Amino acid sequence: MLQQTQVKTVLPFYARFMGAYPDIKSLAQSDLQDVLKQWEGLGYYARARNLHRTACLVVADHDGILPSDRPRLQKLPGIGDYIAAAVLSIAFNQPYPVVDGNVKRVLARLFEMDANVNQSTAIKQFKTAAHELIDARRPGDFNQAMMELGALVCTPANPDCDTCPVSFACLAFEHRTVALYPQKIKAKPTPKVHLAIGVVFRDDRVLITKRPPDGLLGGLWEFPGGEVKRKERPATACARALKQALNLKVTVDAFLTQVTHAYTHFKIKADVFICAYQEGPLKLGQAVDYRWIGIEEIEQYPFPKANHKFFDVLRAAAANRPA
Ligand code: SF4
């Protein structure tokens, strides 16, 4: 099931992932690092980690078969209300409504609901409305139809009411109030974070570090760095962050590039520098592992998308470095 991710974004990943892990057992037997590599570029890495952990638990505790009752299903990592409702309705024909952003929009317009779609406390009202509508004989088809209706017809802007198969029952359509729904509370501006990242060369090898297994981008490898403080020069921040995070003294030799990336709840702008190792036994702080690798080995490790954005320019810079 997809949340905050579009189908067309996922399709190539889905084919690749299913090719690598065609069933629960093969996923359970795989190494997490390989799973993250298959997932690389898709974001939301907790989903990959949870999928892997869930596969291991299903094989170990449930004979390799996904439980079909809600309490046991929701004990598995990453399976909350939304995924449980989707799995139970689509795979096991049980009457649980799936309520995602698309479905909330459809419901808000169908019933002229005043509940705010982006307020977590309003979810109960949307679930109640969906419960009243669900077709108990074909709950999986009903849920998929609602999600598709929201994605393809009852779109956020310019819904296609003239071809909508449920316009006969839609209060907003009847009252010409479609533009007023769904209602939302004004979102806060997205915080922005300024980072300085160091590509630290030691002879012809570069340093990469591994993030802790849980949390944002958990288990991925990255080029180390840290946040730029107010009024601090990014190059100074880079050297300071490498010293603080890894006990490394480096010289900052050149500015490589700047990349930007948007995560769900914040945006980053990262200045990337070419650095040279000077001294210091490397000490891991938050990072859980490190490697000195050749540039050509980058592809073997799973990296965040923000790092991928400077790989081409890094390869070119590395090729032009004096031997
Ligand atoms: Fe959405 Fe229009 Fe259909 Fe109502 S009639 S559900 S507003 S597309």
Res 6 pLDDT > 80? no
Tally of domains within the chain: 3
Q: Is-contact 84 74, C-beta < 8 A?
A: yes
302 Cβ contact list (under 8 Å, min separation 6): 33, 36, 37, 39, 40, 219, 220, 221
**Confidence at residue 215, expressed as pLDDT on a 0 to 100 scale:** 85
Res 267 pLDDT > 60? yes
Q: What CATH number does the domain containing 176 carry? A: 1.10.1670.10
Whether 91 is in a domain gets the answer no
> What is the reported pTM?
0.76
- For residues 21-49, give the mean pLDDT: 93
**Confidence at residue 5, expressed as pLDDT on a 0 to 100 scale:** 59
**Confidence at residue 4, expressed as pLDDT on a 0 to 100 scale:** 56
- For residues 209-236, give the mean pLDDT: 94
162 by Cβ neighbours in 10 Å (0-12 / 13-18 / 19+) ranks as exposed
**Confidence at residue 310, expressed as pLDDT on a 0 to 100 scale:** 97
Task: Examine the domain organization and report whether 43 and 146 are in the same domain.
Answer: no
Task: Examine the domain organization and report whether 169 and 202 are in the same domain.
Answer: no
Q: At residue 49, what is the residue type?
A: R
Res 293 pLDDT > 60? yes
Q: What residue ranges line ligand 1, CB within 6 angstroms?
A: 106, 109-110, 153-154, 159-161, 164, 166-167, 170, 172-173, 178
Nearest to 224 by CA among 38, 213, 240: 240
**Confidence at residue 265, expressed as pLDDT on a 0 to 100 scale:** 87
Task: Examine the domain organization and report whether 153 and 132 are in the same domain.
Answer: yes
Residue with the nearest Cα to atom 5 of ligand 1?
A: 167
**Confidence at residue 143, expressed as pLDDT on a 0 to 100 scale:** 98
Q: Give the structural domain span for 66.
A: 1-79
Kindly indicate the confidence band of residue 30, based on its pLDDT and cuts at 50, 70 and 90: very high
Distance from residue 181's CA to the centre of ligand 1 (Å)? 10
Domain boundary residue, one of 79, 106, 128: 79
Q: Tell me which of 166, 171, 175, 183 to substitute to probe ligand 1's pocket, judged by most ligand atoms within 8 Å of the beta carbon.
A: 166
Task: Examine the domain organization and report whether 197 and 315 are in the same domain.
Answer: yes
Checking DSSP bridges between strand 192-202 and strand 205-210, what pairing results, if any? antiparallel
Q: Tell me which of 148, 155, 167, 175 to substitute to probe ligand 1's pocket, judged by most ligand atoms within 8 Å of the beta carbon.
A: 167
Kindly indicate the confidence band of residue 39, based on its pLDDT and cuts at 50, 70 and 90: very high
Q: What CATH number does the domain containing 281 carry? A: 3.90.79.10
Distance from residue 90's CA to the centre of ligand 1 (Å)? 24
